Amino acid sequence: MATPRVLIIRAPGTNCDYETSVAFEKAGARVSTAHINQLINDGLKIGDYQALVFPGGFTYGDDLGAGKIMGSEIRIKLGEDIATFIKEGGLILGICNGFQVMVKSGILPGDGKIVTLTGNDSGRFECRWVHLAANPRSRCVFTRGIERMYLPVANGEGKLVADQETLQTIDAALFYTDSFGNQPAAYPDDPSGSLNGIAGICDETGRIFALMPHPERHISPHQHPGWTRGQSHDPGDGLKIFTNAVGWIKQL
């Protein structure tokens, strides 16, 4: 088939769109980046792409809470287009602020369930590297073949919260662990205090996925904090997220 087409959607305050574009290009996709107003006002069509991405950053300054303004904008102005895109089999990925946007817009977790992302238990912005484990029982397209990852986080509102029934029924695709892979992990291994140690979730189709850590910031061995001590490998752990997405599209 033709080269998979990926659209990265940005807004004022987005700051990880370039790194995310590089990651998808390295995985073999053709990537376009567009301001959200190009979708709302300028006739850019979501349906011309196989994957949508909401990258990291601080959209609209997170002035009313992380991801809330852009999430509301998407729900009100693009909700029908997004619903059609999902129904027709598209992939959606959200990273950090993109996770917050997808939750606040209602894109995730889907199936009528409700979660939110709120302030870290530490009461401050957490910027550190974390150990992660993929859930082998998850339907998530993006985490297939992944067992563990080492990725950076950078957020002030990364704590996933939901009622107990929702926590038992959502598809938690990614968990924080300690350096030995043990769960549940305590702070700082779970940097936000996320319930059940959840670092990423997907919807019931497995095609709509978001995570708080940044896979685009570890696609090269030289991005690993211990690369000068021989602790890294090529490619970086995060690249598999992107190659999984591109590979899945190519199989359609």
Half-sphere exposure of 35 (CA within 13 A, CB side): 8
Say which residue the tokens 């190009």 belong to.
38
Tell me whether residue 216 is one of the annotated catalytic residues: yes
Q: Are β-strands 208-211 and 159-161 bridged in parallel, bridged antiparallel, or unpaired?
A: unpaired
Q: What is the phi/psi pair of residue 90, to 5°?
A: -75, 160
Say which residue the tokens 């870290």 belong to.
120
Candidates 84, 37, 95; CA nearest to 214 is: 95
Tell me whether residue 214 is one of the annotated catalytic residues: yes
Tell me whether residue 96 is one of the annotated catalytic residues: yes
Q: Spell out the residues 6+ positions from residue 189 whose beta carbon is closer than 8 angstroms to its own.
A: 130, 131, 176, 177, 178, 179
H/E stretch holding 166: helix 164-169
- Encode burial over 221-250: b for 16+ CB neighbours within 10 A, e otherwise: bebbeeeeeeebeebbbbbbbbbbbbbbbe
Spot the catalytic one: 73, 126, 216, 224: 216
Spot the catalytic one: 19, 157, 202, 214: 214
Spot the catalytic one: 96, 126, 131, 140: 96
Active site residues per annotation = 96, 214, 216
